[in-house]
A and B are shown apart, each in its own frame.
Chain A
Amino acid sequence: MIALLIRDLRLAVRAGGGFGLGLAFFLIVIVLVPFGVGPEAAVLTRIAPGILWVAALLAALLSLDRIFALDFEDGSLALLATSPLPLEGVALVKALAHWITTGLPLTLAAPVLGFLLNLDGPAYPWLLASLALGTPALSMIGAFGAALTVGLRRGGLLLSLLVLPLYVPTLIFGAEVVRRGAEGMPVTTPLLMLAGITVGGFALLPFAAAAALRVNLR
């Protein structure tokens, strides 16, 4: 499983792997927002938590269809299915690799971009915490969606439609953590809910994703 993780990370970083794509998208969206809503600092401060979370979510969405599609096309997935690795483990590792190449860079870049949106000072640690806790769920839910749509032509579009509604709870609680953090209110409840979604997703979705892969490999 570690070999698979290392291979996926290596593939992502090498030419054509799409590493940095989500990060660049995140950056551009955040830079565009002040152009759209105007330079009023008070307005930006108010919408910053929501915008940061929505942009991170869309950036994570961007590379989801690559999780399984490339391996499906070149036959690797069929070979992995007949290997000693359980498909559940493959799904888990692939979600993890997606998070390391997408969610983790987004999390680390978010404070810098929060500055562009005039995010309130006390919110920074909570922005970092909520993204660190919430983006793994985005990758795991996304991996499940990618497993469902893997053999389909233009599956990417369908994948977005399937996955975005599933992202709603993560978005609500993630943005709520940052908003409460900015206003100095207690953040425990949304933070625990966010952690619950992530932990629950990682516990259940590898099995769902593996089942979907098995059907799509037939």
Chain B
Amino acid sequence: MNLNEEQIERYSRHIILQGVGGDGQEKLLNGKVLIIGAGGLGAPVALYLAAAGVGHIGIIDADVVDISNLQRQVIHFTPDIGRPKVESAKEKMNQINPDVNVTTYYDLFTKDNALDILKGYDFVVDGTDSFPSKFLINDACVIAGKPFSHGGILRFDGQTMTHVPGTASYRCVFKEPPPANAVPTCSQAGVFGAVAGMLGTIQAAEAIRYLTGVGELLTNRVLIFDALNMKFRTVKVKPSELGLTDFRESYDQPVCDLRSRA
């Protein structure tokens, strides 16, 4: 074990945990995870991955912190309003754990920069809020052969699945983005703040389990929960032959992104 004394103390609860141990902790310290979106899902993911000692964490987001984010985006605090989310997130991650090397991208994740950015990472977490972004992340990860965690939340509901090459991807379940006119406005939908934490921590657990190799990943299954009645279930899904070797549609900006991305 190459951990120093302080690390042995800091990570002691992982080190004594059967299935993780000192070897698993070293794998985390050598791991590289990209978090796309520093919002409701990205916030808990970033906090838990930093706390767990994932050695290199990249985080990309083009937004600044807004007061309406603070109801659920727990990595951002009131004095952070107006700051780039990636900057605010990096500061907290470094305070939790100075072992962690954080790379920030104050930018949109687009089909032009996607493959370049993905190159340096072992695992990707989708914490975005729009369907074009979700399809772009799916396609980029499939093309690049990168494992990733899909996450989506709406009102009181959450859904997540993990893709590793050869297993079902997001596009195997949701073939094409929904038509833009089917999407009601953001203000009509709303989201229960704690749902973001519930889903984000599941995504963080998937990233940690992928890096350490412990347990059975959420592959070929979609986990769905309803936090209004607190019911969880998983639905089995099959991989389909996508033949995806290049990006497909234009990944236009969706209705809900117009305000923040304009």
Whether A associates with B in a native complex is: no
Which residues of B are at the interface with A, using a C-beta cutoff of 8 A?
none
